[in-house]
Each structure stands twice: as structure tokens, then as C-alpha cells.
Amino acid sequence: MSLNIGDVLQGRYRVARLLGQGGMGAVYRVWDMRLKAPRAVKEMMPQPDINGQVLAQLQQQFQQEAAVLANLSHPHLVRVTDFFEEGGNAYLVMDFVEGESLAARIAREGCLPEPQVLAWADQLLDALEYCHGQGIIHRDIKPQNVIVRPDGRVILVDFGLVKLWNPGDPRTRTAIRSMGTPEYAPPEQYDSQSGFTDARSDLYSLGATLYHALTGQTPPTATMRIVNPASLMPVRHLNPQVSPYLEAILLRILELRPEARFQTTTELRMALRQWGGGIQPPGGFPPGTFASTAVMGMGGPPGAGYPYAPSASAPPVRPFPWKSLGLVVAALIALLLAGLALANLLERGRETPVTIGDTTLTTEMETWTAAPVEVTAPQEILVTEAVASPTAELVIETPAETETATATATTIPTTAATPSPTSTPLPTQTSPPTATPAPACPEVTGPFAEVWRAEQAQLGCATNDAHSGWLAIENFERGLMFWREDNDRIYVVYQGGSWQGFANTWRDGDPIYTCGTETTPPTPLRGFGKVWCSNAPVRDGLGSAMDLERGFDGTLQDFERGTIVRMDTGTIYLLFSDGKWSKR
């Protein structure tokens, strides 16, 4: 039976949320009320119609996994802290690892930089070298089972297919075998009878994971490669920035025949280190190996923790555009000087009186309004503009004083003569009309204040305050889907920079799968599946699902022309009403 939020196990672990679910169980985030710390609990949840003998084997395997993992201690492996049975189900308690899966990182960023991938490869090989030394094979290495922590380190999780391995007897001691994930499983893992898997099988899976990280594409399955050997595209065809040496190493790791691969993790680690691709060998680099080095927090790939050098095939660094910067600075200085000159003219305009006959006028430049003056016919009032000045200058003259200027001046006729002189006010000249500024938005406060200030012109004013909301998310090859509970809408975010919104039409009681089945992954479920299966452009744009949907408490705020959403990983997405998106 599935657990509900708020359920308490063993009087100690309070369920916070579902992290993921598969055919044989589920993983929950829980709160350890005794130690006041988050934990992950894995629940073995077999299918109801499973026969008793198989169920007993599964329970035995689950207990075996708990006993094996509880004795492992490595900085790049998840730590098991407890195991128990309750309500007919078995539970495994592990440290909760903060971060995001490597699959999610690839889906968001595409091809990852070679130095970073190599640093992660070395950490994973260190973990595998430790496991293989303990006689343990993981059997399901894939991007979904590699967690990238906020500090940049990677952790290998989910030993659901762990196998005890004796090099003298390659047959598995695990009760129930599984082929793993097809794109990352070697061909020998497909054979449920021979049991021929060993450390080289893990190396194949790691190689497929590195291939995916460097190219942004999942490798073809082993069976597809057997049918069509050309289906495995060379790494540099998909990402020319990868060095030829690393491409050759990956091709050897992904050999279909185990005897043609690297035979041990140690052999593979040395091959990666020998070419100087950025992984520090034991004892460090000899002095002067690199002109400069970077350590954690001081440059280089985030969290790499190793000195590194850029790949020989990396693009050259472009020089800083000093010439363009100089032009910008010169333009700014010119604008400043023009502003000072304009301010000086305005000040002079306020202080300089204009005299007409016996009347002295003080002209205000803001309104250009002069006081009325007595004028007798046939007198004319001429208004001329000073051409040399960038600002209009009001000049009022009588004909006697401007005989030579009347040819170009604009004449403003006076009112027709009347029996007695009348008092005629001078025409009033007003400044050009200016657009009424739009009312300023109320200042946004809270977690999105800084993002809103940077994107205010595009987002507009806030229509509500930042608030928490229940979200669900699933990563795909070329994007992601997420669902908002408060408006019951599904958002499709494509890797290319566009997004679409759909009403969620899936309801409880509807089929879990709109297309496909549980045995034909990767097919999204429920509302995501309904959108993905019934919209070919969505399906083509996103590609296949990379993981299972999961729910979490996110943070949201809506605006006149968009929405800001913060995921539980800390990533902030901005969805603009023009169909574009960006992230922070």
C-alpha cells in the first residue's frame, strides 16, 4: 500500500513527499523525528498478483541489499542507515541527498563540458572501484541514478539491482535479476539465464552515462547496436568539442564484447588520467604540468575539486571587445556634456529678461509664456527661431528693429484694426506634449524581488505575492513538463527556449497510461502522459521521458505578462507570455 504524506513509520519517520515510483516500489522523502534530519525511505511494494515464491525471493533480495549497503562507506555512495518491515512491506532508510539528477542536468543544459564530466567520471570510478573491491556490482548505472550535489560532487544511488560478485564464479547470487535500463545496460545483462555479469558490465553502463552527458543524447540500446552497428554515432559527430582521445576511450568502454572493454575500474581511471585531460592522478601532478590550476571554489568546473586544463579542442577564448567598450564610453561622455550644455541654456533662459518697449518680460523656458503687452496697429510681432542653438530661443521684436529679418521670419498677423486700440495678448508657446508615464508597479518583495527588477519590463506588475504551491515535474530528453496544482495546468518547457501550457484533463480513475504500458518505458503517466501521447508536436519536441514524475513544494508568483517558478532544486524558471522562457 502506498504511503501518504504525514504517515509515520516505526514511530520515527514522518513521510514528507513521494520522490519517485517504479514497478516494484517507491522512494519517499521523510523526516527523522529522532535525529531531526531528512532521510530517503525506499519501500518494496510488489505487485498484488505476484506469487508467494517470487515474493519471498524479492524480500530476501531486499534484505540482502540492506545488509550489503549498510556496510558500505564511501563519499560518493549513498549511505544506508536503517532497515525494517512494517505492514507487510519492507523499507530501506538512506541519507537524503540534496541536489538534482545528472539526467535533469543534461535535459536542462544539453552537452556538458568535458572537464566537468571527467571530474564526475573520476568520482564515480572511485566509488565503483570501492564497490568492486567489496565484491559488489551496481548493475543500474545511469544518469537518473547519479545525483549532483550543490557542492558539485556526485553521489551514486539506487542499488536496487545490486549483485554480490565473486570473480571466480561470475554467476549472480541475487535472487531476482533485472536487465537494468536498456540504453545503459550491456548485452550480457539481457540474458536472464547465463548470469554472466561482472565489473565490466558496470563500466559499460558508466560509459553509456558519460556518452549521454557529453553528447546530450542517450546511446542506442545494445540490441539496436547488434542489429545496426552504425546506430552508435561517434561522440565528436554530436559534440566536436570532445577530444579525440576521450572519444576513443568511450568507444572502448562501449564495446559489445566484455573482453574488448577496459577490464577494471583501475585500468579505466589510469587511461583517463594518462592523457592529461584534467583528472588528478594519485600523488598529484608534477610541478609545471599546467600553467595554472584551479581548485574547488577558485575557478574551474563547479565542485570539480581538481586541477584541470581545458580540452585541446575547446574553442579559443575571444579577446575582450575593448574597441566597442571605448565607443560606448565616448557616447556616454558626449551625452553627459550635452546634458550639461542643455542645463546651462535652461538656466540662462530663466535669468535673461526680454524688453518690449517699456515692458520687461521674464521668459520661463518651461512654459514659454510671456506677459501681455499693449500693441497698436499696424504693428507686427515677429517670432524667429535661433538656428545655431539646439534649443528653441524665443525672440520678440518690432518691425522697426527687424527690417532685415522679415524675409525669413514667420509673421503672426495681429487682430484686424478696430476704431480704438485694444489690448492684445502675445501668443503663448507651450512645450511639446509628452506621453503620460504608465503608473509604476508596486515594488515586488520576497524571493523573486531581484529577478523581477531585472525582468520588470517583460513581466509587468505582480498579480499576486510569491507563495508556495504543490508542483509535479518530469524531465525529458529535450525539456521538461511541470504541473501546478493551484490552476491545474501542465506546462511544457522545450530545450530550445519556448513553452506551452495545457489544461490538465486527466482525473482520478482515468487510465494511468494514455499510450504505452509500464513495461514500455519511457512513457509518462497520468496528466503528463495524456499531453505527451495526444500531441505529436509535444512528443517530438520533448523526446522520451528521462525519469518518473515527482511532486514537491515549489514557489510561484504570477505577473501581468508571465510567471516565475522556483523548483525544489533551486532553479528558477521565468515563463513569459510571448511563449519564451529563461532560467536563473
User: Among 66, 95, 124, which residue terminates a domain?
Assistant: 95
Looking at the domain assignment, is residue 2 inside a domain?
Answer: no
Give the position of cell 532521510: 39
pLDDT of residue 357: 42
- Whether 538 is in a domain gets the answer yes
Note whether residue 243 is domain-resident. Answer: yes
Q: Cell match 586541477: residue?
A: 307
The reply to whether 259 and 128 lie within a common domain is: yes
- Same domain for 71 and 109: no
Q: Are residues 27 and 54 in the same domain?
A: yes
What CATH number is given to the structural domain containing 160?
A: 1.10.510.10
Identify whether the C-beta of residue 236 lies closer than 8 Å to the C-beta of residue 251.
no
Q: Identify whether 160 is part of a domain.
A: yes
The pLDDT value given to residue 305: 28
- 130 and 54 belong to one structural domain: no
pLDDT digits (tens, 9 = 90+) for 312-334: 333 333 333 444 555 655 666 66
What is the tens place of the pLDDT at every residue in 254-293? 999 999 999 999 999 988 887 544 443 333 333 332 222 2
* 171 and 26 share one domain: no
Kindly state whether residues 135 and 221 are assigned to the same domain: yes
Q: Give mean pLDDT in consecutive 10-residue pieces for the chain, a chain of 584 residues.
A: 85 90 78 91 75 75 77 89 86 90 92 94 94 85 92 82 44 42 84 67 94 94 90 92 92 92 92 60 33 25 29 36 53 67 54 41 39 40 37 37 39 45 52 56 91 93 91 91 92 94 85 69 80 89 84 91 92 94 93
- Domain end point (choices 62, 95, 128): 95
What pLDDT was estimated at residue 431?
54
Dihedral sign (CA 318, 322, 328, 331): negative
> Is 179 contained in some domain?
yes
Q: Are residues 58 and 152 in the same domain?
A: no
What gap in Å lies between CA 147 and CA 360, rounded to an integer? 83
CA distance 115 to 100: 19
Containing structural domain, residue 395: 379-411
Same domain? For 125 and 244 the reply is yes
Q: What CA–CA distances, in Å, run from 383 to 478, 486, 575?
A: 68, 66, 56
As given in the structure block, the three cell numbers for residue 305 are 575539486
Neighbours of 10 (CB within 10 A): 13
Residue 173 lies in a domain: yes
110 lies in a domain? yes
Whether 482 contacts 579, CB under 8 Å: no
* Structural domain includes residue 334: no
- 524 and 510 in one domain? yes
Catalytic residue among 122, 140, 158, 202: 140
Claim to verify: residue 544 and residue 407 sit in the same structural domain: no
Question: What is the domain-level CATH number for residue 68?
Answer: 3.30.200.20
Question: Residues 6 or more apart from 267 whose CB is under 8 A from it?
Answer: none
Residues 124, 68, single domain; the answer is no
Can you tell me the distance from the alpha carbon of 371 to that of 394, in angstroms, rounded to the nearest whole number? 13
d(CA 137, CA 195): 13
Residues 124 and 48 both lie in one domain: no
* pLDDT for the residue 300: 30
Q: For this structure, is 508 an active site residue?
A: no
Our count of domains for the chain comes to 4
Query: Which of the listed residues 274, 296, 325 is the one where a domain comes to its end?
Result: 274
452 Cβ partners below 8 Å, 6+ apart? Answer: 444, 459, 462, 557, 559, 564
Q: Packing angle between helix 265-274 and helix 244-253, nearest 10 degrees?
A: 170
